[in-house]
C-alpha cells in the first residue's frame, strides 16, 4: 500500500494582490474536490480537481480563461496515467465545456494522443461530452484581457495502489496568436507521469517548457534517484538559467510528500496527504 497524496496548483505568475486570497481559496476548493475522489484512484482525483478549476472564473482555465489576440478563448488540456503511459490531450478548443473531459476521452479512445480545434470539438460531440457556446467562457472581458502570465492549472496524485496521474488545463497566454498551442497539452513538456518514478506538471512560459522537454526531464531525474524537492527546485532554476523563463512546477514521487517550486511572484497551490 502506498500513501495517497495530491497536489493542485492554480498557476504561476503575477497575481494582483486583491485576487491572491480568492485564487488560493479556489485552489483549495479544487484540492478538496480531488481529494474526495482519491479512493477511486489517482486519475479520478486529478480530473475532479482540474474540472473544478475549469469552473473557477479567477483561474486561467475554462470559464474566465485569458483571451487571445482576437479576443477569444482557446482552451487546452492534457491528462496522463503513469500505468502504461496512457495520454490524452486536446488543444484550441472553443466550445467544449470541460476540456479535461475531452482529454480523458481521447486517452480512453486510444487511437491518438492529441486532437485540436474543430476536429477535437467534433470528437467531443460524437462522444457525448458537454458542449458550450464560446461566450460562456468570457465572464469579465476587461479583466481577461489584462491577465498576466501563462498560468495553467494542474494536479498530480498518487493513490493507495501507487498509481500516479496528472491533469492540466489552460487558456494559454494573454494575447496569444489564434491557434497557438503551448506546453499544457504536450506530454513531456507540460506534464508527465510514470508509476515507476513519479508525476509532474508545470505552469509558466509554455514555449520554454516545450523547448526544454521539461516535464520528461524532471521524471528522468526522479528515475535517477533525485528527491522530489530537489527536482522541483532544479527545474525552476533550469528554466531561469537556460531560457530566462519564469514558471512553476509540482511533483509527486513514488513516496513522500508532494513538492512545489516557482520563480514567479506567486503560485497558489494546495496539498492533501
Q: How far apart are the first and last CA of the chain?
A: 14
CA 254, CA 109: separation in Å to the nearest integer?
27
pLDDT tens profile 160-175: 999 999 999 999 999 9
Could you give phi then psi for residue 192, rounded to 5 degrees?
A: -170, 145
Instruction: Please choose, from the candidates 233, 196, 232, 235, the residue with its C-alpha nearest in 3D space to the C-alpha of residue 214.
Output: 235
- Which domain range does residue 235 map to? 5-272
Q: Which residues contact 109 (CB under 8 A, 6 or more apart)?
A: 88, 123, 127
What's the confidence (pLDDT) of residue 103? 99
Where is 106: in which H helix or E strand? helix 99-109
3-class state of residue 248 by DSSP: strand
> Total domain count for the chain?
1
* Stretches in the chain below the pLDDT threshold 70: 148-150
Q: What is the CATH number of the domain that holds 15?
A: 3.60.20.30
Handedness of CA 54, 57, 63, 64 (dihedral sign): negative
Catalytic (active-site) positions: 152
What's the confidence (pLDDT) of residue 183? 97
CB 87 within 8 Å of CB 187: yes
| Bridge partners, residue 203, by sequence | 248
CA 149, CA 173: separation in Å to the nearest integer?
7
pLDDT tens profile 41-62: 999 999 999 999 999 999 999 9
Amino acid at each position: 500500500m502506498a500513501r495517497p497524496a495530491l497536489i493542485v496548483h492554480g498557476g504561476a505568475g503575477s497575481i494582483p494582490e486583491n485576487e491572491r486570497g480568492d485564487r488560493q481559496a479556489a485552489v483549495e476548493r479544487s484540492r478538496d474536490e480531488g481529494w474526495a475522489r482519491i479512493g477511486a484512484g489517482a486519475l479520478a482525483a486529478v480530473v475532479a480537481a482540474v474540472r473544478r478549476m475549469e469552473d473557477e472564473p479567477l483561474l486561467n482555465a475554462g470559464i474566465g480563461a485569458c483571451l487571445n489576440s482576437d479576443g477569444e478563448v482557446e482552451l487546452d488540456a492534457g491528462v496522463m496515467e503513469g500505468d502504461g503511459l496512457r495520454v490524452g490531450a486536446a488543444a484550441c478548443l472553443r466550445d467544449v465545456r470541460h476540456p479535461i473531459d475531452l482529454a480523458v476521452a481521447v486517452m480512453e479512445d486510444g487511437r491518438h494522443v492529441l486532437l485540436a480545434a474543430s476536429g477535437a470539438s467534433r470528437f467531443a460531440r460524437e462522444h457525448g461530452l458537454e458542449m458550450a457556446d464560446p461566450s460562456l467562457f468570457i465572464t469579465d472581458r476587461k479583466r481577461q484581457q489584462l491577465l498576466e502570465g501563462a498560468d495553467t492549472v494542474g494536479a498530480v496524485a498518487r493513490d493507495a495502489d501507487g498509481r500516479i496521474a496528472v491533469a492540466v488545463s489552460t487558456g494559454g497566454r494573454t494575447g496569444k496568436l489564434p491557434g497557438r498551442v503551448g506546453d499544457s497539452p504536450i506530454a513531456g513538456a507540460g506534464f508527465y507521469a510514470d508509476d515507476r518514478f513519479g508525476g509532474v506538471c508545470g505552469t509558466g512560459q509554455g514555449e520554454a517548457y516545450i523547448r526544454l522537454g521539461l516535464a520528461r526531464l524532471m521524471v528522468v531525474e526522479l528515475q535517477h534517484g533525485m528527491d522530489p524537492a530537489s527536482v522541483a527546485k532544479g527545474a525552476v532554476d533550469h528554466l531561469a538559467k537556460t531560457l530566462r523563463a519564469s514558471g512553476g512546477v509540482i511533483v509527486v514521487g513514488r513516496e513522500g510528500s508532494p513538492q512545489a517550486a516557482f520563480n514567479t511572484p506567486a503560485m497558489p497551490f494546495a496539498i492533501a496527504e
